[in-house]
Amino acid sequence: MGVPVDRPPVFGVLAEFSGKDELIDAIGHSKDHGYRHMEAYTPLPLHDVVQAIGHKNRLPLIVLCGGILGATVGFAMQYYLSVEAYPLNVGGRPFNSWPSFIIITFEMTILFAAFSAVLGMLALNGLPRPYHPVFHVDGFEQASRNRFFLLLLSRDPVFDLERATEILESREPLSMHEVPF
């Protein structure tokens, strides 16, 4: 991306909160100060946190496309193989026995849609990602227990280490950490 000199000294600033209301409050406060690049870490999915952070979910569209692709592939495969590639008379049924083809078409739709859902979710989330700077932070493992974290990223154009620390500190977090790269 940039020359190493441009790189900010830290990945971001992380604040730990005891509840989701404090977290949402801190998100709002940071947004008031012009911060846009941030991430919240919670032990469970919380709709109001996502809303506070702001996020558009494109996954359903991906799954729909996957499903349509699966249906097309499923029926086209059966049609081509039974009518063109290997026409076989079975009990006088037509080569294009569409009632019989519905089942596998359906199964392929589900199969493709399900894989699109999972792979799409992982891809959009940037997973698998074995290394991430927040893992350096002592106590971050509580994010999978009962703590709520807010990370202001240094990538944000308005980011300033001291300002960011001040902003988060004003919300009285349980702890504050600078996250190295």
Partner 1 sequence: MSEIDARLSKIQGRALRIGSVAFVLLIISGMAGPQRAMQSWLLGFLGMCAIGLGSLGLLCLHNLTGGGWGHAIRRVLEAATKTLPILAVFALPLLLWPQGLYEWAHPEVVAADPILQHKAPYLNTGFFRIRTVVYFAIWIGMAALLRSMGSVFERAPSDANGRRLRTISGPGLAVFGLTLTFASFDWGMSLEPHWFSTMYGVIFIVGSVLSTLCFSILVASWLARCEPVSRYFQPGQFHDLGNLLLAFVMLWAYVGFSQYLIIWSANLSEEAPWYIHRLGHGWQGLALFLLLFHFAVPFLLLLSRKTKRRHAVLAGVASVLLVLRFADLTWLVVPAFERTNPILGLILDVLAIAAAGGLWLGAFLSALRSGPLHSVAPPGPAEAQPASQT
Partner 2 sequence: MSQATTPPPPDETRTAAIIRPGHSLSSVTDKISKIVLQRHTPRGWFIGLGISFALVMLLLWSLTVLLVKGTGIWGLNIPVGWGFAIINFVWWIGIGHAGTLISAILLLVKQDWRTSINRFAEAMTLFAVACAGIFPLIHVGRPWLAYWLLPYPNTMDMWPQFRSPLLWDVFAVSTYASVSLLFWYVGLIPDLATLRDRAKSRPWKIAYGVLALGWRGAARHWDRYETAYLLLAGLATPLVVSVHTVVSLDFAVGQVPGWHATVFPPYFVAGAVFSGFAMVVTLAIPLRKVYGLEDFITMRHLENMAKVMLATGLIVAYGYAIEIFTAWYGGSEYEMFMVQNRMKGPYATFFWALILCNVAIPQLLWSRKIRNSLLALFLISIVVNVGMWLERFVIVVTSLSRDFLPSSWDTYEPTFWDWSTYIGTIGLFLALLFLFIRFLPMISIAEMRMLVPAEEEPEEEEK
Which residue ranges make up the site for partner 2 (CB under 8 A)? 18-20, 39-47, 49-50, 53, 55, 57, 59-60, 63, 77-78, 81-82, 85-86, 88, 90, 93, 97, 100-101, 103-104, 106-108, 110-111, 113-115, 117-118, 120-122, 124-125, 127-132, 134-135, 140-146
For residue 17, the one-letter residue type is F
115-to-56, 64, 120 alpha-carbon distances in Å: 21, 11, 8
> Alpha-carbon distance 30 to 113, whole Å?
38
Region of 69 on the Ramachandran plot (φ > 0 left; ψ -120 to 50 alpha; else beta): alpha
Residue 131 binds: one of partner 1, partner 2, none (C-beta under 5 to 8 A by kind)? partner 2
Binder to partner 1 among 96, 100, 146, 170 (CB under 8 A)? 100
Stretch binding partner 1 (CB under 8 A), from 95-103, 116-124, 130-138, 147-155:
95-103
Chain Cα centroid distance, residue 176: 25
> Alpha-carbon distance 79 to 87, whole Å?
10
Residues that bind partner 1 (CB under 8 A): 20, 44-48, 91, 93, 99-100, 102-103
